[in-house]
Structure 1
Amino acid sequence: MSRVNIQQVQPAAYQAMFGLEGYIAKSTIAANLQEMVRIRASILNGCQFCIGMHTEAATKLGESNERITALASWKESTLFNEKEQAVLAATDEITNISVDGLTKETYTNLGMFFSEEEIAQLIMLVALINTWNRIGVSMAG
């Protein structure tokens, strides 16, 4: 049995998702960092479609294959600066929210690099890619 194609069956749901994409596009989070967040969350969620799509986008924005590949084990990598590490830690914790939530330490680290508005944008970005991942993986079967 083939899986439902939500975009065809419920196009209004996709339009709502694209509304959030428009919000994120206007955020002050750098485009390359947004793509790194999208790739990392997609790795954690096992969404091959999103990994491929956002790897291509990150490459077009100038990200190296070495850094993109290192996202799988970013904690052991020296390729990411403190700001990027703070974002990746938040991405991991928000993606795996049921484990420990977004910890005080990680949230405090974000505050060293981002305003409250940007932290809100980052949380929405991670929530958005997690939703896309869940839709993609659910339909892939």
Structure 2
Amino acid sequence: MEQQSVARLKEIIGIPVDEIRVAPLRSYGPGELIGRNAFLIFSAALLGRCDSGGIAIGIHSGTPYYDCSPDFTQKIDALIQQCSDGRLSVMAPFVHWSKDDVYSYFLSKGIPLKETYSCEAGSSPPCGRCASCLDRARLECSQKGASSV
């Protein structure tokens, strides 16, 4: 589901995206996947076609996960810059934004929420019970309430 969402959003937003496939050795449920964002960033640096420029990640504030924090972003950026002799950097434009702020930004740019995916269980359809699904349901309800006023 996440892969399909990225494919649709790259067309809508008009950004290049490299796909790297990795098969897990075990399955995971909802909640924190320790090291996930660090893994994704280092995989992009090692396996992606980015010799220079930025590696963007869409983390936002308001989660209990360390790898969604400004401290993580600062440290991983320093590591990527050091490992690439300054050719690469990590960009996390939403790291200080709440999920509500990100949601409002997407709406203001005309990016349909239905094209996004954020279920921690990775299920299809989304589980409806994890923190990401509950956040999404809350945002969709608040948007429906605002649009009916």
The structure that is helix-richer by fraction is 1
Larger radius of gyration: 2
> TM-score, normalized by length of structure 2?
0.28
TM (normalized to structure 1)?
0.29
Q: 1 or 2 for the larger relative contact order (CA 8 Å, sep ≥6)?
A: 1
